[in-house]
């Protein structure tokens, strides 16, 4: 006999558990199916442990550079096993809190590998010998670390990011195949720990999803830090040897290092889960959805990394909440339909050193969409708090001519903390003059946002405009 619920969610990562929590809050009886632990990749093998590692790297840099601030200290050693223990403790605390929250909402957590099936002519989720039915199902099975043809991930000399997070010993040298978010974050952390790092990127620039000015600034900063960056460099062959890994590029160049990190993006986890067999349309492995995140099968939704677009945990959170509210609206439990999630409105952060934070359209994308645009770049050299932190970077604004700001792009230490205000500006279609009228605390890095908008509004203060 099948167990019946109001909603069954397959996958308890960011999108899945957010959907379950909001649905339970709205009065639905929810089953949450997960083969591993609630929290998924982000909590256990992605966002949280990676950022804990990056914070440890920041501490190492602070000690190493302390003499600039009159504080003389030395690093005795980098204990990578200790860094992993610290990261695990952070993950553990969050996991315990999340598990308690899920339990307190009355959500039934089903432990086991689930798949999409048909039961009595309707879509259902099957786990082992048990079947779970509901009028609405949500697919939230997340993503996996991609590789390339000709690469054999052995977990020792050639690793994915998930394996690299469990390293208990630092390599003397490392190559990072891929200059996207994951690649530059690991490269940044490892360099702070003293590893000789080379990034190999097939595209013409690092972090290609960001504004080109940000990419150029990051490349300069990385080279200054001693990180070797090879762009437009595609791999042709890879071999392991006793001493490490040998990488051959298409131009004939050969590179060697003790370890190779494969960071060429993540793919949707849709294989072998019964999606296509039950009528769910896929394209390049991703689940095809409409703007309401409903799949080709009525009543079956998909969220997070399964859906083409930005692969970000907070996008998954937003998707999950949206779908719960969409179902509630359709069933009469919620009066107003939720606003659709649009990727361009989602803030993006890369936690390397220097940090990158952005929201909205890049200059190139804005020109493609609107034709002519106006831009202004405020150099952090004019910002007091940034000088205190000894960071370099900028805040770049992109606006429609005589119109609202449609993109904000930032690079520099701690700029991730500015992206909340940036999101409000772009999401609310604010004009430069709207933001110029706001008072930003002094000395703070948020002043850089204020100063940039003052300049674009035609009344620059601490900048030439």
For residues 407 and 237, what is the distance between their CA atoms, to the nearest angstrom?
Answer: 39
Total residues belonging to the chain: 465
Q: Could you tell me the strand order of the sheet in which 173-177 lies?
A: 158-159, 259-262, 173-177, 196-200, 228-230
Return the closest-CA partner of residue 10 out of 92, 82, 96, 117.
117
What DSSP assignment string belongs to 273-300? SSTGGGT--EETTEEP--TT-B-SSTTE
What DSSP assignment string belongs to 110-140? EES-EEEEEETTEEEEEETTEEEE-SEEEE-
Query: CB 24: neighbour CB atoms within 10 A?
Result: 21
For residues 396 and 375, what is the distance between their CA atoms, to the nearest angstrom?
Answer: 7
For residues 51 and 228, what is the distance between their CA atoms, to the nearest angstrom?
Answer: 22
Pairing of strands 282-283, 286-287: antiparallel
Task: Supply 275's token pair.
Answer: 């999606």
For residues 341 and 320, what is the distance between their CA atoms, to the nearest angstrom?
Answer: 10
128 conformational bin, left if phi > 0, alpha if psi -120 to 50, beta if neither: left
- Residue 442 is among the residues annotated as catalytic for this protein: yes
**Omega cis (within 30) before 443:** yes
Task: Supply 264's token pair.
Answer: 């060429």
Return the closest-CA partner of residue 356 out of 232, 203, 185.
185
Q: Using an 8 Å Cβ cutoff, are 420 and 314 in contact?
A: no
Is residue 194 classed exposed, middle or buried when 0-12, 13-18 and 19+ CB atoms within 10 A define those classes?
Answer: middle
Out of 44, 72, 119, 442, pick the active-site residue: 442
Residue 3 pairs with which residues in a beta bridge?
Answer: 132
390 conformational bin, left if phi > 0, alpha if psi -120 to 50, beta if neither: left
Q: Using an 8 Å Cβ cutoff, are 95 and 37 in contact?
A: yes
Residues with active-site annotation: 442
């Amino acid at each position: 006999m099948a167990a019946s619920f109001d909603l069954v969610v397959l996958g308890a990562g960011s999108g899945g558990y957010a959907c379950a929590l909001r649905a339970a809050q709205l009065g639905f009886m929810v089953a949450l199916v997960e083969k591993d632990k609630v929290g998924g990749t982000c909590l256990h093998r992605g966002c949280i442990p990676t950022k804990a590692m990056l914070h440890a790297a920041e501490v190492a840099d602070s000690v190493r550079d302390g003499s600039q601030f009159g504080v003389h200290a030395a690093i005795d050693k980098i204990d990578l096993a200790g860094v992993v223990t610290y990261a695990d403790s952070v993950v553990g605390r969050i996991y315990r809190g999340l598990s308690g929250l899920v339990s307190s909402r009355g959500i039934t957590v089903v432990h086991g590998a689930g798949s999409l099936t048909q039961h009595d002519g309707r879509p259902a989720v099957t786990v082992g010998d048990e079947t779970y039915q509901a009028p609405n199902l949500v697919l939230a099975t997340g993503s996996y670390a991609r590789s390339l043809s000709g690469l054999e991930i052995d977990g020792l000399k050639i690793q994915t990011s998930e394996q690299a997070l469990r390293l208990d010993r630092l390599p003397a040298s490392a190559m990072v195949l891929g200059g996207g978010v994951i690649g530059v974050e690991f490269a940044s952390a490892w360099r702070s720990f003293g590893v000789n790092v080379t990034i190999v990127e097939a595209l013409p620039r690092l972090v290609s999803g960001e504004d080109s000015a940000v990419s150029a600034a990051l490349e300069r900063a990385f080279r200054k830090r001693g990180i070797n960056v090879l762009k437009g460099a595609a791999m042709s062959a890879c071999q392991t040897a006793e001493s490490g890994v040998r990488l051959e590029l298409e131009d004939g160049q050969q590179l060697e290092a003790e370890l190779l990190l494969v960071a060429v993006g993540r793919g949707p986890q849709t294989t072998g889960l019964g999606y296509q067999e039950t009528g769910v349309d896929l394209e390049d492995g991703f689940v095809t959805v409409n703007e309401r995140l409903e799949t080709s099968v009525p009543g079956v939704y998909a969220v997070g990394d399964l859906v083409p677009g930005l692969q970000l945990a907070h996008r998954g959170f937003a998707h999950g909440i949206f779908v719960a509210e969409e179902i509630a609206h359709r069933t009469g439990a919620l009066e107003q339909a939720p606003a659709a999630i649009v990727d361009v409105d989602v803030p993006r952060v890369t936690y390397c050193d220097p940090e990158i934070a952005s929201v909205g359209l890049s200059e190139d994308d804005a020109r493609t969409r609107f034709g002519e645009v106006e831009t202004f770049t405020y150099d952090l050299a004019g910002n007091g708090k940034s000088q205190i932190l000894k960071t370099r970077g900028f805040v770049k604004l992109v606006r429609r001519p005589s119109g609202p700001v449609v993109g904000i792009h930032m690079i520099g230490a701690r700029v991730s903390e500015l992206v909340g205000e940036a999101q409000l500006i772009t999401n609310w279609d604010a004009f430069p003059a709207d933001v110029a009228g706001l008072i930003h605390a002094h000395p703070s890095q948020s002043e850089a946002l204020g100063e940039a908008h003052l300049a674009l509004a035609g009344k620059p203060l601490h900048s030439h405009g």
